[in-house]
Amino acid sequence: MRKWEHPRHIARTLTHHTLLLVTEGSGSITIGDKNHALQSGMLYYVGPGTFHSLEPHSSQPAGVLTVHFSCSRVILNDGRWEIAEEEPALHPAPAQSLKDAYAAQDMFHKLVECWNAKLPGYEFMSKILLQQLFVAIAQHLKKQRQPDAASLKVDKIIQHMHDKIDGKITLGEMSELVRLSPAYLSRTFKETTGYSLIEFFNKLKIDKAKELLVEGERKVKEVARELGYADEFYFSRMFKKIEGVSPSEFYSKNVHDI
C-alpha cells in the first residue's frame, strides 16, 4: 500500500505476478511495450519477467495497492500428484477498470490489510483472500459483458448513500429513488456489490468513521453523532462487527501505534 505525496518514478522487472489497483491520482504506467493511463479505479496486471514502469503526475499524487504472488500448476502423473516445473501462464488483461466492481475493490483492500497486519495465520488467510479476489474480478468481467442499466441505478444509490452518510436510509426510499421494486433492487444491489443495501451503507459509515478517527481530533462519541448514530455503544458494536476491533482500539493502533 503506497501513496506518493511527490512524484516518484518506478521501473523494474519482477519474478512474480503483480496486481496493482490505483486508488487515487493519475499518471502513466508502462507494461512491457505498452503504455497505459494511470487512473483511479484501474487494475493493472504484470506477469513474471515483464518490465514495467510507473510515473505519477506531479499535480495529482498517486495512491496504489499492490498484490504480489506466485503460483504453481498441480498435475496428476501415474496416480501421483506432482507440481509442474513450469509456472502456469495467466492471461488477464494488462489494464481493466474496477470502478464499479465494489466486491473486487473491497476484497483487494482486505487482502492488503490482512498481509500488512501479519496476525497469526495471515499467510493462510491471504491465500484465501487472493482466491476470492480472483473470483470477484471474474464475476465483474462477466457482468461487464452483459451490460445492465440496473448497474447505473446501483451507482445512483451509492452516491445517495454518500450524500446521506450522516443519516438513515430505507429500502423503500431507495426503491422510489431508482424506480425499481424493493425485491428486484435488493437482489440487483447484492449481486453488484456483494452486500445488502443496509450492510453497504453501514460499511460506508464505518469507513468514514475510520477517516474521522485517524484525524485524531474527535472522540468516539463525536464521530458516532457526526455519522447519525444516537447511541455511541451501538456505533461501537457496529464498528467492531465490521472492522474486528473497537473504535478506541482502532484509534490507538492507527494514531498512537499501540
Torsion from C-alpha of 126, 132, 135, 140, nearest 10 degrees: -100
Query: For residues 226 and 166, is the Cβ–Cβ distance under 8 A?
Result: yes
pLDDT digits (tens, 9 = 90+) for 170-193: 999 999 999 989 999 998 898 888
Q: Can you give the pLDDT at residue 7?
A: 58
pTM comes to 0.57
Dihedral angle sign, alpha carbons of residues 190, 196, 199, 204 = positive
pLDDT digits (tens, 9 = 90+) for 43-76: 999 999 999 998 888 777 778 888 999 888 887 7
Task: For the chain, report the end-to-end CA distance as a whole number of angstroms.
Answer: 20
Half-sphere exposure of 67 (CA within 13 A, CB side): 25
- Taking only the tens of pLDDT, the chain with its 258 residues reads 565 555 567 899 998 899 998 888 888 899 999 999 888 888 999 999 999 998 888 777 778 888 999 888 887 777 788 887 777 767 778 888 887 777 788 888 889 889 888 888 999 999 999 999 988 888 777 776 655 677 788 889 999 999 999 999 999 999 999 998 999 999 889 888 888 999 999 999 998 998 888 877 788 999 999 999 999 999 999 999 888 889 988 888 776 655
DSSP 99: T
Q: Can you give the pLDDT at residue 145?
A: 61
Q: Which residues pair with 38 in a beta bridge?
A: 27
User: Where are the strands (E) in 50-208, listed by range?
Assistant: 51-56, 63-69, 74-77, 80-83, 95-97
Q: Can you give the pLDDT at residue 6?
A: 54
Query: For residues 66 and 17, is the Cβ–Cβ distance under 8 A?
Result: no
Q: Can you give the pLDDT at residue 257?
A: 55
Q: Tell me how far apart the alpha carbons of residues 23 and 64 are, in angstroms, rounded to a whole number.
A: 5
Q: Tell me how far apart the alpha carbons of residues 104 and 55 are, in angstroms, rounded to a whole number.
A: 25
How is residue 60 written as a grid cell? Answer: 495529482
Site of grid cell 472522540: 219
78 burial type by CB count under 10 A (0-12 exposed, 13-18 middle, 19+ buried): exposed
Q: Can you give the pLDDT at residue 151?
A: 75
Q: Tell me how far apart the alpha carbons of residues 81 and 207 are, in angstroms, rounded to a whole number.
A: 44
Q: Which residues pair with 46 in a beta bridge?
A: 18
Give 11's contacts (C-beta < 8 A, 6+ positions apart).
51, 52, 53, 54
Query: For residues 200 and 233, is the Cβ–Cβ distance under 8 A?
Result: no
